[in-house]
C-alpha cells in the first residue's frame, strides 16, 4: 500500500516534469541603468552569459525575459514566455533558435515562429553588448 502511494507520487512528479512549465533558466543579476536593464558580466553570478550559448533570464516589464549570448559579440533578449501556453522557452546554441520543450514550438532569434503550435511571435527586446555590460531596453 505504501509502495503504491510512492509509485503514484513518483508518477505524479514525472507528469509534472513532462508537462511542467518549461526550461529552468538561471536568473541573471540585473541593475537598472539609463538604457533600461543592465547585466554586468564581471559579476560572477552572470558568468553564464560570458560563454557563447549561455542563457539566463530575469523578470522586468511584467515579463520574464530570456537573454542569450548568441556569439562573442551579440546577445538577444526575448520574452521567455511561450505564446502557445506559457511555458518558459530556452535558447539552443545547437540550432541557433529558441525552443519550447512543452509542445515543441520553435522561434527564431527575432522571436518569429518557426514551428507551432505557437502562432504568435515572442516579444523581442533591444539588447546590446558593450564591453562587459549587456543592456536590455525594457
**Binding positions for ligand FES, rule: CB under 6 A:** 82, 84-87, 100, 102-105, 117-118
At closest approach, how far in Å is the CB of 13 from ligand FES? 20
At closest approach, how far in Å is the CB of 46 from ligand FES? 26
Specify the residue, 91 or 135, whose C-beta has the smaller distance to ligand FES. 91
> Which of 93, 94, 125, 90 shows the shortest CA–CA distance to 106?
90
Q: Grid coordinates 507551432 are at which residue? A: 116
Distances (CA, A) of 119 to 22, 64, 99, 110: 18, 19, 14, 14
Specify the residue, 30 or 83, whose C-beta has the smaller distance to ligand FES. 83
Helix (H, G, I), strand (E, B) or coil at 62: coil
Strand partners, 106: 99, 115
Specify the residue, 75 or 80, whose C-beta has the smaller distance to ligand FES. 80
State the cell numbers at 128: 546590446
At closest approach, how far in Å is the CB of 99 from ligand FES? 9
At closest approach, how far in Å is the CB of 101 from ligand FES? 8
At closest approach, how far in Å is the CB of 73 from ligand FES? 29
Specify the residue, 68 or 118, whose C-beta has the smaller distance to ligand FES. 118
DSSP 2-39: HHHHHHHHHHHHHHHHHTSSB--PPBPPEEEETTEEEE
Specify the residue, 7 or 104, whose C-beta has the smaller distance to ligand FES. 104
Amino acid at each position: 500500500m505504501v509502495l503504491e502511494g510512492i509509485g503514484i507520487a513518483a508518477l505524479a512528479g514525472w507528469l509534472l516534469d513532462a508537462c511542467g512549465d518549461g526550461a529552468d533558466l538561471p536568473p541573471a543579476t540585473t541593475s537598472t541603468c539609463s538604457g533600461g536593464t543592465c547585466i554586468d558580466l564581471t559579476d560572477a553570478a552572470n558568468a553564464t552569459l560570458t560563454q557563447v550559448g549561455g542563457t539566463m533570464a530575469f523578470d522586468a516589464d511584467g515579463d520574464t525575459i530570456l537573454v542569450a549570448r548568441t556569439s562573442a559579440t551579440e546577445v538577444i533578449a526575448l520574452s521567455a514566455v511561450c505564446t502557445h501556453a506559457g511555458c518558459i522557452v530556452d535558447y539552443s546554441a545547437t540550432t541557433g533558435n529558441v525552443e519550447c520543450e512543452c509542445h515543441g514550438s520553435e522561434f527564431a532569434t527575432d522571436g518569429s515562429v518557426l514551428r507551432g503550435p505557437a502562432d504568435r511571435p515572442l516579444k523581442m527586446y533591444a539588447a546590446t553588448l558593450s564591453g562587459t555590460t549587456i543592456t536590455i531596453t525594457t
